[in-house]
Amino acid sequence: MNDIEHNHKQELNFPIGVFDSGVGGLTVVREIIRNLPEERMIYFGDTARVPYGSKSKETILRYSRQIIRFLQRKGVKAIVVACNTASAFALEEVKKEMDIPIIGVIKPGAEVAVKATKNGRIGVIGTEGTVKSHMYKKLIQNHNDKIQVIEKACPLFVPLVEEGLLKDSVTVEMAHRYLKDLKASHIDTLILGCTHYPLLRSTVREIMGEEITLVNPAYETAKGLEELLKSHNLRTTAENHGIEQSHEFYVSDAEEKFMEFARSILPSNIHTVNLINNIEEF
C-alpha cells in the first residue's frame, strides 16, 4: 500500500461531523445510527445560542461557520447540517467554502416529498427562519414547478417539545391551530421541516389524518448521507463499535439537560457530553 492509499484508508475511518442549534439534531443522529451503525459521529449542539429559528440569515451563517471550523479541527471526513434553519440559511454558502462533503436536511426532505405527492400539493411546517427562506418551496419547485407548496411556521412547537410536552393538551391545541389551514388546503404530503417535529409525529398524524404522507427529513438525510459517503468513497471500513465508545457529543451550554434529552431519543445511553464555552472563537 503506498502513502496515498494508506492516508485514504485512514480517512475512511474519520468521524462524521453533525451539528444543530441544540438537541433537535439528535433526531437526525438517531436515523444515522439506524442507517449507518458503523460510522462514528462528532455532534455539536449549540445549546447556548438556541433557538436558531427566530434569528437572521447573517447570524446563522456566522454560527454555522464557527461550528464547521470546530468540527474540521476534530478531523471529520464529512458534515451533516442537522438543523433545518441552518440548512436553509447557511448550507449553500458554506458548501462553496469547504473541501469535504456536506449535506443538509432540506434537499433530501424536499426530494422525497416530490416523489410522494400524487395531487401536487405539499405542506411544509418549520421554524420562522425556514419558512421565511422558502428553501423547501424552491427545491421542490426546482423539480416540478407545478407543485403547490403551502408553508406554515410553528414557532411554539420547539419549546413545547423541549419541555417534554409531546402529548400534552396545550401541544394538541397548538397543533390544531397551526395545522388548521394546511388541513383545509387539501395537501396530500406534509414535510416535518424542523428537527423537533418528528417527535410530534403522532399528534400531527391524528390531526392531519391517515391519508396524508408525513415526510421526516431526518430519515431521508441519513439515506442521503450514505449515498454521499459512497460517492466520495468515504464509507468506513470499521466494525460497529456501539454508541457508548464511538460517538462524541459537544454542547455550548447545559450539558445535563442535553444528556437527559439525548437519553429519551437515542437508542442507547451516552455517558459524556463535553462543554465548549468558546465556540465564537473558532
Provide the edge-to-edge strand list for the sheet that holds 41-45. Answer: 102-104, 78-81, 16-20, 41-45, 248-251, 274-275
Q: Does 20 bind ligand DGL (CB under 6 A)?
A: yes
Is position 194 annotated as part of the catalytic site? yes
Q: Does 51 bind ligand DGL (CB under 6 A)?
A: yes
Judged by CB under 6 A, the residue of 110, 125, 194, 200 near ligand DGL is 194
Q: Does 252 bind ligand DGL (CB under 6 A)?
A: no
Q: E-strand spans in 117-169?
A: 121-126, 148-153
Nearest position to ligand DGL, beta carbon: 53
Q: Which is nearer to ligand DGL, 21 or 236 (CB)?
A: 21
Judged by CB under 6 A, the residue of 53, 104, 109, 224 near ligand DGL is 53
CA separation for the pair 272, 6 (Å, rounded): 32
Q: How far is the CB of 98 from ligand DGL (least distance, A)?
A: 21
Q: Does 24 bind ligand DGL (CB under 6 A)?
A: yes
CA separation for the pair 84, 36 (Å, rounded): 21
Is position 154 annotated as part of the catalytic site? no
Q: Does 198 bind ligand DGL (CB under 6 A)?
A: no
- Angle of helix 217-231 relative to helix 106-116, nearest 10 degrees, comes to 110
Q: How far is the CB of 154 from ligand DGL (least distance, A)?
A: 10
Question: Which residue in the block uniquely carries the three cell numbers 422558502?
Answer: 134
> Residues 121, 135, 18, 22: is their CA dihedral positive or negative?
negative
CA separation for the pair 107, 40 (Å, rounded): 23
Instruction: Tell me the one-letter amino acid at 186.
Output: H
Q: How far is the CB of 83 from ligand DGL (least distance, A)?
A: 4
Sketch the per residue contact string, 129 through 168, with ligand DGL: x for CB under 6 A, - otherwise. Answer: -x---------------------------x----------
Q: Does 108 bind ligand DGL (CB under 6 A)?
A: no
Q: Does 21 bind ligand DGL (CB under 6 A)?
A: yes
Joined grid coordinates for residue 91: 448550507
Q: What DSSP line would sit under 171-203, residue for residue?
A: HHHHHHHHHHHHHHTT-SEEEEESTTGGGGHHH
Q: Does 50 bind ligand DGL (CB under 6 A)?
A: yes
Q: How far is the CB of 120 from ligand DGL (least distance, A)?
A: 26
Write out the residues near ligand DGL by the rule CB under 6 A.
Answer: 20-21, 24, 50-53, 83-85, 127, 130, 158, 194-196
